[in-house]
């Protein structure tokens, strides 16, 4: 599969979960699905959704400050409420809320004005549409998916309604998004309720790429996406191929006022460094309030992450995954020409920093952000058997408050020692 190179070079995206659920501050879609809130109460939030302070240029400026290269907006979550004026269903914010206008177009335009790539989240499943709960998958993904919003009772299946859902709602709305907004990225969700064949995902991929060949597709297409989508935890081992981690600043996706366990900038820097050190992108989420404002705790954290990124730019753009664990105690990145390694030190280094298992000669070591040059010496090794010594690096006099990055310039392309030392 070929994918647009911008995606792997982007490193940071901002996920925006914005919808009527911010009015009462209840869980996006899941709150009625799980029975915490009656469906009618949930949908009554349409009346309170105003977007009265929605200024997507301010969002875009903030995302740029964070160091992001793209953003992804929830154009329709599992609740089926579209943020644009869809002709495929009646359930949209322009038609059914006081907002009375399209919210997706201004988002896409503002992002482009600020040189950000446009990502649109779209839920395959739609827990409001009467034609959606019409067929059952061959195997339930989890027992809890057997819910009246998602599935017909066994024996009540109606394949014709399913065909109508696929054509009119699913395919229809995806076409509207592509034609209306030309997204750089389509970020799907909710595939788990049907089989690949029921969704006809392979054909969906072909249809999208026929009309919009440059659009990148996320992994939630049951094997037909461009990159793997991890959620809420940095993978322990490096995934193969392009991948992205979606992650929350606090605990939940949509805005809920009591959701105040915001992660610190230091924690976010760690997750970001671990993610890009494994070659992935971080898609960091914020849930704006119903009026379109972003809570200040999130703005502060996004700006803090952005300051770290700008101090350590070279280690972020454009780099690739660094050393496998074992060579350095922490994440690392490698420059595109493979001649500079960036070692991330989470805690203030006190005695020395070690780099192990590298055949190259080190030409120069400096600290990003301060430019301080650091001395080093090579200890041990068995040159006649090509066993490299350990590079012991002096510690910087000033450390970064969040994570210090050392740039190690090598005498050529990185040449890793992979032996066990026996022989
Ligand atoms: C999940 C949830 C959802 C959230 C999404 C983000 O699959 O269904 O509420 O939007 O992940 O990745």
pLDDT number for residue 379 = 97
Cα-to-centroid distance, 189 and ligand 1 (Å)? 7
Per-residue pLDDT at 206 exceeds 90: yes
- What is the rounded distance in angstroms from the CA atom of residue 276 to the CA atom of residue 291? 33
Ligand 1 closest atom vs CA 220:
7
Per-residue pLDDT at 29 exceeds 90: yes
**34 CB-contact burial (10 Å; exposed 0-12 / middle 13-18 / buried 19+):** exposed
Nearest CA to ligand 1 atom 10: 253
Strand partners, 366: 373, 407
Q: Write out the H or E segment, with its range, that includes residue 32.
A: helix 30-33
Q: What is the mean pLDDT of the segment spanning 266-276?
A: 97
Task: Name 350's Cβ contacts closer than 8 Å, sequence gap at least 6.
Answer: 395
Cα-to-centroid distance, 132 and ligand 1 (Å)? 19
Nearest CA to ligand 1 atom 1: 189
| Share above pLDDT 70 across residues of the chain, in percent, rounded to a whole number | 99
Q: Write out the H or E segment, with its range, that includes residue 205.
A: helix 201-211
pLDDT number for residue 3 = 82
The structure tokens listed for 293 are 């404002």
Query: Which of 194, 216, 343, 211 lies closest to 283, judged by CA?
Result: 216
- What is the rounded distance in angstroms from the CA atom of residue 401 to the CA atom of residue 369? 11
Residue among 186, 231, 233, 250 to mutate when testing ligand 1 (max atoms within 8 A of CB): 231
E runs forming strands in 278-325: 281-286, 319-321
CB 246 near ligand 1, within 6 Å: yes
- What is the rounded distance in angstroms from the CA atom of residue 148 to the CA atom of residue 163? 19
pLDDT in tens, 106-158: 999 999 999 999 999 999 999 999 999 999 999 999 999 999 999 999 999 99
Strand partners, 92: 82
Cα-to-centroid distance, 77 and ligand 1 (Å)? 8
CB 28 near ligand 1, within 6 Å: yes
pLDDT number for residue 2 = 66
Cα-to-centroid distance, 151 and ligand 1 (Å)? 19
Nearest CA to ligand 1 atom 9: 28
Ligand 1 closest atom vs CA 78:
8
Task: Name 76's Cβ contacts closer than 8 Å, sequence gap at least 6.
Answer: 82, 83, 86, 121, 122, 123, 126, 173
The mean predicted confidence, pLDDT, of the chain is: 96
- Residue 302's pLDDT band, with cuts at 50, 70 and 90, is very high
pLDDT in tens, 312-342: 999 999 899 999 989 999 999 999 999 999 9
CB 16 near ligand 1, within 6 Å: no
pLDDT number for residue 423 = 53
Q: Is the dihedral of CA 417, 419, 422, 423 positive or negative?
A: negative
Cα-to-centroid distance, 210 and ligand 1 (Å)? 27
pLDDT number for residue 56 = 98
Q: Identify which has the larger pLDDT, 376 or 233.
A: 376
CB 189 near ligand 1, within 6 Å: yes
Residue 359: how many CA atoms within 13 Å on its side-chain side?
Answer: 13
Nearest CA to ligand 1 atom 8: 190
**307 CB-contact burial (10 Å; exposed 0-12 / middle 13-18 / buried 19+):** middle
Query: Which of 106, 105, 301, 125 lies closest to 198, judged by CA?
Result: 125
CB 231 near ligand 1, within 6 Å: yes
Residue with tokens 């700006």: 303
- Residue 232's pLDDT band, with cuts at 50, 70 and 90, is confident
pLDDT number for residue 421 = 64
Cis previous bond, 416, omega within 30:
no
- CB contact at 8 A, 117 and 3: no
pLDDT number for residue 170 = 98
Domains defined for the chain, CATH in brackets: 5-311 (3.20.20.80), 319-410 (2.60.40.1180)
Residue among 249, 253, 284 to mutate when testing ligand 1 (max atoms within 8 A of CB): 253
């Amino acid at each position: 599969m070929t994918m647009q190179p911008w995606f792997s070079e982007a490193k940071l995206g901002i996920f925006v979960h914005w919808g009527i659920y911010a009015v009462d501050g209840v869980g996006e879609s899941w709150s009625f699905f799980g029975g915490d809130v009656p469906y009618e109460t949930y949908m009554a939030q349409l009346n309170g959704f105003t977007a009265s302070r929605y200024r997507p240029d301010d969002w875009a400026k903030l995302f740029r400050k964070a160091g992001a290269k793209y953003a992804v907006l929830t154009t329709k979550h599992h609740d089926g409420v579209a943020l644009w004026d869809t002709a495929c269903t009646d359930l949209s914010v322009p038609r059914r809320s006081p907002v009375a206008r399209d919210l997706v177009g201004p988002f896409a335009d503002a992002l482009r004005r600020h040189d950000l790539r446009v990502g649109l989240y779209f839920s395959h499943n739609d827990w409001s549409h009467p034609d959606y709960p019409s067929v059952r998958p061959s195997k339930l993904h989890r027992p809890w998916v057997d819910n009246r919003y998602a599935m017909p009772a066994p024996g009540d299946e109606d394949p014709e309604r399913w065909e109508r859902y696929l054509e009119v709602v699913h395919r229809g709305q995806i076409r509207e998004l592509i034609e209306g907004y030309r997204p750089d990225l389509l970020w799907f969700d909710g595939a788990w309720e049907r089989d690949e064949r029921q969704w006809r995902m392979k054909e969906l991929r072909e249809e999208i790429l026929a009309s919009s060949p440059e659009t990148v597709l996320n992994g939630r297409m049951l094997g037909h996406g461009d990159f793997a989508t991890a959620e809420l935890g940095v993978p322990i081992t490096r995934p193969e191929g392009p991948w992205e981690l979606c992650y929350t600043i606090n605990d939940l996706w949509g805005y809920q006022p009591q959701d105040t366990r915001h992660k610190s900038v230091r924690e976010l820097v760690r997750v970001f460094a671990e993610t890009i050190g494994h070659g992935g992108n971080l898609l960091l989420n914020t849930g704006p309030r119903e009026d379109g404002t972003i809570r200040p705790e999130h703005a502060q954290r996004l700006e803090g992450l952005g300051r770290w990124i700008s101090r350590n730019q070279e280690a972020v753009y454009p780099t690739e995954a660094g050393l496998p664990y074992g060579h350095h105690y922490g994440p690392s990145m490698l420059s595109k020409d493979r001649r500079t390694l960036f070692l991330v030190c989470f805690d203030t280094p006190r005695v020395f920093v070690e780099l192990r298992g590298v055949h190259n000669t080190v030409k120069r070591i400096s600290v990003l952000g301060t430019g301080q040059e650091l001395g080093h010496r090579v200890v041990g090794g068995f040159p006649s058997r090509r066993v490299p010594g350990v590079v012991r690096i002096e510690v910087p006099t000033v450390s970064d408050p969040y994570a210090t990055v050392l740039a190690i310039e090598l005498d050529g392309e990185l040449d890793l020692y992979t032996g066990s030392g026996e022989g």
